[in-house]
Amino acid sequence: MYSGELEVQAKRKALAVLQDEITRILNSSRDLAHLTTLLTKGDEKEIQACLDRMHKTEEEVENLRRKITRDVAEIGGLMANREDILKCAYIMDDISGYINGIAFRLANIKSSTLKKANFEEDLKSLVGMVVDTIFKLNEMGRAMAINPANAIELAQEVQKLEHQVDDKYRAMIITALEEITNNKDLLLFKDAVEGIEGMVDMCQEASELFTILALGM
């Protein structure tokens, strides 16, 4: 088998594992969205179930990232863009960790604080943007194997969502500083919202790496 064929096969294999990573992260982001609807209901049992699922997904994503690392190491210098594939895999691992960190902080905020400050809808909207952004990344991953040019177009949509999250994040931080009087809840809320903003920045970085990979397909 020619080295070129080996490279193509190795790249497809790595991208398939990367796609698996993103799909699991998408499911975890949906759990995060579900968590935001549970916070004001005070359903501790279901909240814990969401946290447990997200923690399990984080472990699965970490294992997939290790698999990609091993696969890329085995093919060595034969694979072009191997650094970009590895960077993308590690970013996905980080995003999964961010989701868990955000969920932990939100789950420890008093539901009365969110109700009093009228943050329920804003929070649902912000997390909804997170789900949309990761969904676009998931679509980019699928497009890599079918229509790489479409992945480049989807990257522009990720960028638009990133700008929307930035605007929403800033507005929510200002409101939180004015409305949340409990210092512990303010710190948890601020950390959670900043985590969401940082996570979407990572999604933007991942989409840029996908664009580079798409151009090389």
Consecutive 10-residue averages of pLDDT for the chain (217 residues): 61 85 96 91 88 95 91 71 87 95 94 84 93 95 85 92 95 93 94 96 93 79
Helix (H, G, I), strand (E, B) or coil at 8: helix
C-alpha closest to that of 134 among 36, 34, 207, 197: 207
Q: What pTM was estimated for this model as a whole?
A: 0.90
Number of domains in the chain: 1
Q: How far is CA 194 from the centre of its chain?
A: 14
How much is the pLDDT for 78?
59
Which domain range does residue 69 map to? 3-215
C-alpha closest to that of 92 among 152, 37, 140: 140
C-alpha closest to that of 207 among 147, 123, 136: 136
Using an 8 Å Cβ cutoff, are 35 and 47 in contact? Answer: yes
The CATH number of residue 131's host domain is: 1.20.58.220
